Every structure is written in C-alpha cells, then in structure tokens.
Homo-oligomer: A and B are copies of this chain.
Amino acid sequence: MSLDDKATKPHDRLAQALAAEMDAVNALIRDRMSSEHAPRIPEVTAHLIEAGGKRLRPMLTLAAAKVCGYEGPYHVHLAATVEFIHTATLLHDDVVDESTQRRGRPTANLLWDNKSSVLVGDYLFARSFQLMTEANNMRVLNILANASAVIAEGEVLQLTAAQDLATTPATYLKVIRGKTAALFSAATEVGGVLAGAHENAVRALHDYGDALGIAFQMADDLLDYGGASAQIGKNTGDDFRERKLTLPVIKAVAAASAEERAFWVRVIEKGDQREGDLEEALRLMRLHGTLEATRDEALAWGNRARASLNALPAHPLRDMLSDLAEYVVARMK
C-alpha cells in the first residue's frame, strides 16, 4: 500500500476498489428509478440520489459478496435494492421530521410536497422488491423483507419515544438497530448469502453490519452535539431542537439532579426551548461525562464490528471493511 493509498479515506478506497461494480449499480439505479407514466418519480428520486450520498450501503453489499468469492452479476441488483430502500426511507423520514435540508440541498418535501415524497418513496420501496426478486434467492428475500419491517418498526418506535424522558438506553439501542443497523446488517448479510458463503461467514457479515450500523448512528448522534469535545458548528443541536432522546441526552437525564431534571423536562418534554438552552444542555452533558461515555460505546461497537471480520477469509476488501469500521467512529474526534 503506497503512502498515497494510506492518505485516502477508507470509504474512498472501497469506492475505488469497487468502481466498476458501483458504475453498474448507479446505471441500474438510474434505469429502475424511471417511470413510464409518471415523470415526477425520476425527478424526485434524481434530486436525492444525484445529490451524492456516500453510497455506503450498496458498497457494503458488493464488498461482502466479493470477500466471499461471489462472481455472478446479482450483487449489483442487491446493492441497488439496498440503496432504493435507503432512499425511500430518507424521503419518508424528511416528511416525518419536517426536514428542509438533506445532503446540503433543499429536501424533496420542500421542493415538491409531502405527497410526492410519500408516494415516490412507496414507488422506490416497490422497485426495491422487484429488484431483489431478480436475484431469485428466497433467503435473500427474507432477509431484506425482514429488514424493511424492522426499519419501519424502529422509525415508529423513535416517533413514540421522542420527547419521552423515560426512554432507556435499551430503547435507544432498539431504535438505532431498527432505523440504521438493520439495513447495514441486511446489506452485508445478503452479500454472503448470495455468494453461498459458510454459515459462520454469513453470521460474521451480519454481525459486522449490525455493529457498524450501531457505531455509525451513535457517532452521528454524538456529532449532533459537536462530538466528544462538544464543538458547536452550524449543524449542532438539530436533535436537541427536535427533542430526540439520543444517548448523550438519555445518559444526562439518568444522572440528573432534581434541578437538572426540571431543565430536561422543560426543554425536551415540554419543548419550551430558550436562548442558551443548547449551551446548558452541553454543560450538563460535559458535567456528567455523557459525551465521552457515548463515544466510548461507539468505539466499542466499532471494535466489535472489526472483530466480527476475523471469521471471514483474508481479502483486501475485508481489510477495507475493517478500516471503515475504524473510520466511522474516528469521525467523532
């Protein structure tokens, strides 16, 4: 590995190693997001897909299949399936969260309307199921159908847990396992299943995706408060304003004095947020060390992801997946 390679982010190295397949995935996505009768569908989809997401999930599927020696064409279909499920979820999430920005651009619900986002999301879900049937593998279908149900369940759980100070770390783990890790673990697991890998390898791929997804979401939730050092940037505090019970807050609430608890009740449960409240929230998180504790949990999940890979055959892509697990948590520092 040259110095140059070392300087590249793990995500970019994966993209380089999978460049030909990712071109095929992107071509398939463009082909399947079309609609004979309703031009609104490709308009809305292209707005989101061409905004340049990281394509992390389809790369996981491609890498998992190749690490297990797959040489057929259908990992491309499953990678596109996974990206369609992800895109459909984003469209619906932005409606549910009433978001106005995504990937640095106005959201589809803002540019068009909520109706278009709901219905185009439904279309992409249906397209994802069409795509996955093409691999003609019942076990793959089961994994992806189950993941879709778990994702929706996680989103509903997040909705009902929002603003509820009684939310426990266990509930938080269920939410992020659902809304994030379920698609990561399905993405990697189906790669192994498609390749006809040994059960140990399939299980290892599932566990890698699960732990990677959890680490990824914990890091995201920590970064929303500026990371472990709580550096406030332009996107800091979105979760605070939306009154989401993420791990740094859950831990701060659990450690709160009576007076601190009154603060959390006011800003999260009652939604009465005033000038300086985000700073006060950060002060309490620092006081109780909840940002560092969240970082430590994310690092532990990242390590668990890396350890899972030991059950897989040696392969350059396996090493990149390992580096990726290190990278998603290194973002926090």
Indicate which residue in B126, B138, B160 contacts A145 across the interface (CB closer than 8 Å): B126
Interface positions, chain A 97-155, Cβ under 8 Å from B, are 114-116, 118-123, 125-127, 129-130, 133, 136, 138, 141-142, 145-146, 148-149, 151-155
- Check A178 for interface membership: any CB of B closer than 8 A: yes
- Check A305 for interface membership: any CB of B closer than 8 A: no
CB pair A115–B130 under 8 Å, yes or no, is: no
CB pair B125–A148 under 8 Å, yes or no, is: yes
CB pair A37–B174 under 8 Å, yes or no, is: yes
- A157's closest neighbor in chain B, by CB? B38
Indicate which residue in B114, B126, B174 contacts A152 across the interface (CB closer than 8 Å): B126
A37-B153, A38-B160 known; A95 vs B122 contact (CB < 8 Å): no
CB pair B178–A151 under 8 Å, yes or no, is: no
- Check A156 for interface membership: any CB of B closer than 8 A: yes
- Check A203 for interface membership: any CB of B closer than 8 A: no
- A147's closest neighbor in chain B, by CB? B126
Indicate which residue in B123, B125, B129, B138 contacts A122 across the interface (CB closer than 8 Å): B125
- Check A41 for interface membership: any CB of B closer than 8 A: yes
A248 to B292, CA, bound (A): 66
CB pair A96–B125 under 8 Å, yes or no, is: no
- Check A17 for interface membership: any CB of B closer than 8 A: no
- A32's closest neighbor in chain B, by CB? B149
**6 nearest CB pairs, A to B:** A126-B148, A123-B152, A126-B149, A122-B152, A38-B156, A129-B145
A130 to B144, CA, bound (A): 9
A141 to B237, CA, bound (A): 44
- Check A92 for interface membership: any CB of B closer than 8 A: yes
Interface positions, chain A 189-224, Cβ under 8 Å from B, are none
CB pair B40–A156 under 8 Å, yes or no, is: yes
Note all chain B residues with C-beta closer than 8 A to A96. Answer: 114-115, 118-119
Indicate which residue in B130, B136, B145, B174 contacts A149 across the interface (CB closer than 8 Å): B130
A133-B138, A133-B142, A138-B136 known; A159 vs B37 contact (CB < 8 Å): no
Indicate which residue in B35, B146, B157, B174 contacts A153 across the interface (CB closer than 8 Å): B35
- Best-surrounded residue of A115, A122, A133 (most CB of chain B within 10 A): A122
Note all chain B residues with C-beta closer than 8 A to A116. Answer: 156, 159
Indicate which residue in B114, B123, B142 contacts A156 across the interface (CB closer than 8 Å): B123
Note all chain B residues with C-beta closer than 8 A to A114. Answer: 95-96, 114
CB distance from A271 to the nearest CB of B (A): 15
A38-B156, A115-B159, A136-B138 known; A92 vs B122 contact (CB < 8 Å): yes
Indicate which residue in B35, B119, B160 contacts A40 across the interface (CB closer than 8 Å): B160
Q: Mark A26-68, 1 if CB is under 8 A from B, else 0.
A: 0000000001111111000000000000000000000000000
- A124's closest neighbor in chain B, by CB? B152
CB pair A130–B156 under 8 Å, yes or no, is: no
A36 to B178, CA, bound (A): 12
- A136's closest neighbor in chain B, by CB? B138
